[in-house]
């Protein structure tokens, strides 16, 4: 097996005013992503729990605009698909409603409004809400394939709350289908192919076996989904879920989606107890109809505004250097999360 967990530690010395300007050694760690070889920086801040956020006050401050996804306004404010594409203009499953995104990030770009409720606290999401949302997103993507065979790259995405870039508080997924992959999708797909060619094995299978054996970042298994703390984190907390032997979101079974939903609820309970209020989530799909060297996987990365001035947690490093900074070691995140699985 060819999984390599490469890292490098470097030191910097400062004179610390908190210790009467005595010398202090700071440690900085660089990690290489075992699939894409991209580097990230890991600073292991000695913070057990982040500060609580007054959500009521936060919502009062940002929530005073008419929400297009609340039941009253959804019917009259949101667009519809053409009749030939989606009969009736919108797809529905339980409380979930799939409608077109006005911002065309991709050839097919839809929004899945998850609930009738405007604000759902992170610990209140149920298996039913999540299952219905991801399931109807898959139905939408299957319909995309029926009408356009040039579309081969899919993803389902979630910005939960404004700290993560979400411009509407009301919980909603963003569903993408296009002819071109995103950078990270392309790097993962190519990385999986290169790994298969070099080692004769599936990368994700090797990753799961290696992580299980090491036990440092293996959080747990739920049905067909395996949950890991990402070796090279792309934020404060970065959790990965791998679907065994599924190359495309199109191939996921109902049970796979149910397993994923159950796992996500456990992750959300951990977030709730450790005061993580916001996250980005992506469910990545391989190239549809191509080889099976890619396994569907998801990443969930926590987001927050940094005190005291509510600074963004994405800065020049991520925007202009394309390099993420993690503030907690994945091995510590794994220890904390295990109890929830
Ligand atoms: Zn709303």
188-240 residue pLDDT tens: 999 999 999 999 999 999 999 999 999 999 999 999 999 999 999 998 899 99
pLDDT band at residue 179, thresholds of 50, 70 and 90? very high
Ligand 1 centroid – CA 63 distance (Å): 9
Is the pLDDT at 307 greater than 90? The verdict is no
What pLDDT sits at residue 159?
Answer: 98
Ligand 1 centroid – CA 163 distance (Å): 17
∠ at Cα 207 (136, 137), nearest 5°?
Answer: 5
What pLDDT sits at residue 170?
Answer: 95
Is the pLDDT at 50 greater than 90? The verdict is no
Phi-psi region of 94 (alpha: psi -120 to 50; beta: other; left: phi over 0): left
Q: Give the residue-averaged pLDDT of 245-263.
A: 97
What pLDDT sits at residue 53?
Answer: 87
Instruction: Report the alpha-carbon distance of residue 304 to residue 50 in Å, rounded.
Output: 10
- Residues 6+ away with beta carbon under 8 Å from 341: 219, 220, 222, 227, 263, 266
Q: Which strands form 325-326's sheet, in the order they lie side by side? A: 7-16, 22-32, 39-42, 325-326
Ligand 1 centroid – CA 60 distance (Å): 13
Residue (of 166, 192, 197) closest to 297 by Cα position: 192
Ligand 1 centroid – CA 304 distance (Å): 21
Q: What is the DSSP letter of 7?
A: E
Q: Give the residue-averaged pLDDT of 3-10.
A: 96
Ligand 1 centroid – CA 42 distance (Å): 37
pLDDT per position as a tens digit, 104-148: 899 999 999 999 999 999 999 999 999 999 999 999 999 999 999
Ligand 1 centroid – CA 308 distance (Å): 29
Is the pLDDT at 49 greater than 90? The verdict is no
Ligand 1 centroid – CA 67 distance (Å): 4
Ligand 1 centroid – CA 118 distance (Å): 4
Ligand 1 centroid – CA 8 distance (Å): 46
Name the residue with tokens 């505004």: 305
User: Under DSSP, is residue 9 helix (H, G, I), strand (E, B) or coil?
Assistant: strand
Ligand 1 centroid – CA 97 distance (Å): 13
pTM: 0.96
pLDDT per position as a tens digit, 312-339: 999 999 999 999 999 899 999 999 999 9
Instruction: Report the alpha-carbon distance of residue 95 to residue 197 in Å, rounded.
Output: 45
Q: How many CB atoms lie within 10 A of CB 75?
A: 10
Lowest mean pLDDT among 53-67, 248-262, 326-340: 53-67
pLDDT per position as a tens digit, 161-171: 999 999 899 99
Ligand 1 centroid – CA 159 distance (Å): 15
CA-to-CA dists, residue 236 to 23, 43, 127, 172, 265, angstroms: 27, 9, 25, 23, 19
**Residue burial 189-228, b: 16+ Cβ < 10 Å; e: rest:** bebbbebbeeeeebbbebbbebbeeeebbbbebbebbbbb
Second CATH level (architecture) for the domain 55-338: 2-Layer Sandwich (3.30)
Ligand 1 centroid – CA 141 distance (Å): 25
Ligand 1 centroid – CA 177 distance (Å): 25
pLDDT per position as a tens digit, 24-45: 999 999 999 999 999 999 988 8
Ligand 1 centroid – CA 117 distance (Å): 7
Ligand 1 centroid – CA 113 distance (Å): 9
What pLDDT sits at residue 60?
Answer: 84
Own/partner long-range contacts of 90-98 (Cβ < 8 Å, ≥24 apart): 91/136, 91/139, 91/140, 91/143, 92/136, 93/132, 93/135, 93/136, 93/139, 94/128, 94/129, 94/132, 95/129, 95/132, 96/129, 96/132, 96/133, 96/136, 98/136, 98/137, 98/140, 98/175
What pLDDT sits at residue 51?
Answer: 84
Ligand 1 centroid – CA 227 distance (Å): 31
- What residues have a C-beta under 5 A from ligand 1, the ion? 67, 69-70, 118, 170
What pLDDT sits at residue 24?
Answer: 95
CB of 80 within 8 A of CB of 143?
no
Ligand 1 centroid – CA 168 distance (Å): 8
Instruction: Give the residue, 54 or 252, on which the prediction is more confident.
Output: 252
What pLDDT sits at residue 58?
Answer: 85
What pLDDT sits at residue 239?
Answer: 98
Instruction: Give the residue, 307 or 5, on which the prediction is more confident.
Output: 5
Q: Give the residue-averaged pLDDT of 276-290.
A: 96
Instruction: Report the alpha-carbon distance of residue 165 to residue 152 in Å, rounded.
Output: 26
Ligand 1 centroid – CA 155 distance (Å): 24
């Amino acid at each position: 097996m060819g999984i390599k967990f490469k890292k490098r530690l470097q030191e910097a010395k400062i004179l610390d005013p908190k210790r009467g300007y005595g010398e202090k050694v700071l440690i900085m760690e660089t990690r290489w992503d075992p699939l894409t070889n991209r580097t990230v920086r890991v600073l292991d801040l000695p913070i057990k729990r982040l500060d609580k956020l007054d959500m009521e006050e936060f919502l009062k401050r940002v929530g005073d605009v008419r929400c297009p996804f609340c039941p009253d306004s959804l019917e009259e404010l949101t667009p519809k698909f053409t009749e030939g594409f989606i009969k009736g203009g919108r797809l529905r499953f339980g409380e979930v409603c799939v409608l077109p995104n006005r911002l065309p990030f991709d050839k097919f770009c839809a929004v899945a409004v998850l609930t009738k409720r405007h604000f759902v606290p992170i610990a209140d999401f149920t298996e039913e809400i999540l299952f219905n949302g991801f399931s109807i997103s898959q139905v939408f993507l299957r319909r995309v394939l029926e009408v356009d065979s040039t579309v081969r790259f899919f993803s389902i995405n979630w910005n939960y709350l404004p700290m993560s870039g979400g411009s509407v508080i009301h919980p909603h997924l963003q569903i993408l289908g296009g002819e071109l992959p995103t950078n990270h999708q392309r790097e993962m797909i190519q990385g999986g192919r290169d790994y298969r060619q070099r080692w004769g094995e599936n990368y994700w299978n090797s990753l799961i076996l290696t992580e299980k054996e090491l036990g440092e970042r293996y959080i747990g298994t739920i049905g067909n989904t395996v949950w890991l703390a990402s070796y090279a984190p792309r934020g404060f907390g970065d959790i990965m879920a791998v679907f065994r032997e599924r190359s495309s979101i199109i191939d996921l079974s109902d049970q796979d989606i149910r397993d994923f939903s159950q796992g996500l609820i456990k992750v959300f309970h951990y977030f709730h107890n450790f005061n993580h209020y916001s996250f980005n989530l992506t469910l990545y799909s391989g190239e549809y109809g191509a080889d099976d060297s890619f396994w569907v996987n998801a990443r969930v990365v926590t987001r927050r505004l940094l005190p005291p001035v509510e600074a963004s947690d994405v800065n020049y490093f991520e925007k202009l250097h394309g390099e993420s900074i993690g503030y907690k070691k994945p091995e510590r995140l794994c220890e904390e999360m295990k109890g929830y699985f």
